[in-house]
Structure 1
Amino acid sequence: MQRFGTLSFGHYGPLGGGRQLTAGDSMLQAIDLAQGMDDLGVNGAYFRVHHFARQQSSPMPLLAAIAAKTQRIEMGTGVIDMRYENPLYLAEEAAAVDLISDGRLALGVSRGSPETVVRGYEAFGYTGSSDPRGADLAREHFDLFLRAIAGDGLAERDGSSPFGTGASGLQRIEPHSPGLRSRVWWGAGNRDSAEWAGRMGVNLMSSTLLTEADGTPFDLLQAQQIDAFRSAWREAGHAGEPRVSVSRSIFPLTTAEDHMYFGGRQDGDQIGVIDGMRSTFGKTYAAEPDVLVEQLKEDAAIAAADTLMLTIPSQLGVEFNLRVVESFAKHVAPSLGWESTLRSV
């Protein structure tokens, strides 16, 4: 494990007891938490993106704010639903955030997860999908997005325009961030989509669930998915080594408050049906730090990945989550091979 960070679902709304967490609270707390993690030398702050829900839905302003207030931490998404996106506008926004952050954007995209509405992307104006889940639409948008961030010319120049150079040919979108293409990730929920990501030459975000359920433990299924991805990458002839992330719910129990919230949460893999498919969900790890170290060393997918994302209970606030992250950074992560970014400064 070379890197670790947090994956926030960004929930807001009623908290019980008359308390309310607003959308503004959620975003401002995300910025504060990212600043705190940057000071600790944690590697990344990543955000789920969901539409028609009380969660983060427009991540670029949030990521730009984090970029402006931090120095080292990677910020990103896990994942943007490409069914909803204008590919060229997303390419402009992503390039802008990547430039503001000096190349610290990790842009996770995919078909997206199950929604609170029926084919919500159609309300955004994206119709014509022949797939009941819109997978064809997502990949069509993704293809154009990749071309845009690669700097391909996409619109005919107007040689007579007073705002142009008089040149002919095709014009790329602006701004352009030359390294952004290498920092794009595809969120995969099964082996086929992981292999497709490898052939496309993008990094892999292995999902918090897999649409497979044959009795194989979740971590082994995920490790097999990662192996298939890397094999497809090599067979396609891409240069270098791709990055791979996995996410886990992990809580070091070091205080009475930790035990109160998560002491009874240790459980095994779960089997369920999501989006009409029988799926395997990963387990929650909650134990004293020395026990966690031994448990996580046995997790095949964590061993296979270079980046671990801790799913955090963002509704519990900055102070609580920063303490969870700091505890993991001090008492667990170093035993898994991690080194703080502060050591390289």
Structure 2
Amino acid sequence: MSDSRPLRKLGFLTIGLFDEDDPARGHESTLEMIELGERLGFDSAWVRHRHLQFGISSPVAVLAAASQRTRRIELGTAVIPLGWENPLRLAEDLATVDILSGGRLNPGVSVGPPMHYERVRQALYPDSGEAEDFGYGRVRRLLDLVRGRPATEFSGTEGFEVFSDRVQPHSPGLGGRLWYGGASLRSARWAGENGMNFLTSSVVKAEESEDFAQIQLSHLRAFRDAHPDGERARVSQGLVVVPTDSASPAQRAKYADYARERLPRTESPQGPARLMFSPDLVGSSAEIAERLDSHAAFREVEEVAFALPFTFDPEDYEQVLTDMATALGPALGWTPSEPPTLGR
């Protein structure tokens, strides 16, 4: 590494795919992956969120299970789309899982209307669809409730029952571990102004440039400029990274084909939102480290949650995670908090 910041925290992100006919096996595979991540020394494991698809629809429930099968690794969501959620109920669930995990939960959220809103509105908000706030106000409500601001004017005893005016349980440290997943300058600034942490991924909006790394760099700098903690404000980067050090020839060919098929979408802004996608990084750990060392945004982060490809097999994920922890992480200056334990 040259003058990049040494990597302090190494994490990974999975979508948790499952077969419709055997959902238990897919969910168990995700939990086993998180357990493997802890044994390998990863600092964090993150799960994606999918509604009406064959991926994790309830990440908070999955992470509650993971909290009872691990003891050290941090557990995150990247991200929960708040358009599907009631902030008060979500605040209760997040606080409960944070208590169960011993303060390891890192909830990431985003805003905007639910995907395919016109198709799901009747099922989701049959009576209030036109009145729902899908903007930053929904995050603000969640922040206030998680951080212990009153949810009601009433507290005290009524008959035999005792009531609190704030969300219970209250987990004091959770308010400082809330992340906003943003792809625009506006989101980056808002997250900073509201004291959140910032998740930036392999997708950004081409607002002032069509250079992915420069766009991402402008976002993290805007976030830190707006954040009370300035340069100490937490940013995590989530590129798709596939090291091949211990991969078989068949796996290497499979990974190369995967990246090749997705490469055309990275060459210009996509769709009305002008989304820019980062190329997938596939190769030896030394090759990936060299490419990251020249990535303008990576050079200014100390935390990553490398995204795993959606459609790989369990043995592929085991190989990729093992290479990340034993070869790529050290090449980026990372040291695990505990030595890896590869046996069960």
Q: TM-score, normalised by structure 1?
A: 0.86
In the alignment, does 2:200 pair up with 1:206? yes
Distance 1:171 1:202 in 2: 24
**1:225 corresponds to which of 207, 219, 225:** 219
Correspondence for 2:276 among 274, 280, 298: 280
1: CA distance, partners of 2:232 / 2:181: 17
Amino acid at match of 1:259: R
| TM superposition shift of 1:222 | 0.3
Counterpart check, 1:149 vs 2:155 = no
Match of 1:312, as an amino acid?
A: L
Measured after TM superposition, the shift of residue 11 of structure 1 is: 2.8
Distance in 2 of aligned mates of 1:317 and 1:177:
37
AA aligned to 2:210 is T
What runs of 5+ residues in structure 2 fail to find an aligned partner? Answer: 1-6
Among candidates 252, 259, 274, match of residue 259 of structure 1: 252
Q: Aligned pair 1:305/2:298, yes or no?
A: no
Per-residue displacement from partner, 1:35-72 (whole Å, max 9, x unpaired)?
Answer: 01100101111111121222211111100111110111
CA distance in 1 between counterparts of 2:302 and 2:21 reads 34
Please show how residues 14-33 of structure 1 align to structure 2 within 5 Å. Answer: 22-33=22-33
Q: 1:189: Cα distance to partner? A: 1.0
Please tell me whether the aligned partners of residues 46 and 77 of structure 2 are also in contact (alpha carbons under 8 angstroms): yes
CA distance in structure 2 between the partners assigned to 1:212 and 1:324 by the alignment:
30
How far the C-alpha of 1:140 sits from its partner, in A, is: 2.5
Identity of aligned residues (%): 28
CA–CA separation in structure 1 for the residues paired with 2:137 and 2:130: 10
Which AA in structure 1 matches 2:81?
Answer: D
Measured at CA, do residues 58 and 121 of structure 1 come closer, stay the same or move farther in structure 2, by a change above 3 Å? farther
**In proportion to residue count, which structure has more strand?**
1
Runs of 4+ that moved beyond 4 A:
none
CA distance in 2, matches of 1:307, 1:200: 20
- CA drift of 1:114 comes to 7.1
CA contact (8 A) 2:46 2:78 kept: yes
Total equivalences in the alignment: 328
Tell me, in whole angstroms, the C-alpha distance in 1 between the residues paired with 2:81 and 2:196: 16
Distance 1:47 1:113 in 2: 21
The one-letter code sitting in structure 2 at the alignment partner of 1:244 is V
Unpaired runs of 5+ in structure 1?
14-19
Q: Which moved more, 1:20-29 or 1:145-154?
A: 20-29
Closer, same or farther: CA 119–87 of 1 in aligned 2, 3 Å: farther
The alpha-carbon distance between structure 1 residues 270 and 78, as it changes in their structure 2 partners (threshold 3 A), is farther
**1:199–1:214: structure 2 CA closer, same or farther, 3 Å change rule?**
closer
* TM-score under structure 2 length normalisation: 0.87
1:9 aligns with 2:15: yes
Q: Quick one: structure 1 residues 303 and 113, their matched pair in 2 at CA, closer, same or farther if it must change by over 3 Å? A: farther
Structure 1 contact 81–138 (Cα < 8 Å) conserved: no
Question: Which residue of structure 2 aligns with residue 49 of structure 1?
Answer: 49
User: What RMSD over aligned residues (CA atoms) do the two structures have, in Å?
Assistant: 2.6
Residue 327 of structure 2 aligns with an amino acid whose one-letter code is H
Give the Cα separation in 2 of the matches to 1:279 and 1:72. Answer: 36
* Matches of 2:18 and 2:269, distance apart in 1: 25
- Aligned mate of 1:247, from 238, 249, 252: 238
Pair 1:63–1:29, CA change in 2 (3 A): same
Q: Which residue of the partner structure matches residue 106 of structure 1?
A: 106
Q: Distance in 1 between matches of 2:189 and 2:119?
A: 26
Residue type at the aligned position of 1:61: A
Structure 2 counterpart of 1:295, from 275, 291, 296: 291
What is the rounded CA distance, in whole Å, between the counterparts of 2:306 and 2:120 in structure 1?
Answer: 28
- 1:101-151 per-position Cα deviation (integer Å, ceiling 9, x unaligned): 111111000016872553635632284557xxx7x4242322221111111
- Conserved in 1, the CA contact under 8 Å of 2:42 and 2:336? yes
Deviation at 1:260, TM superposition (A): 1.9
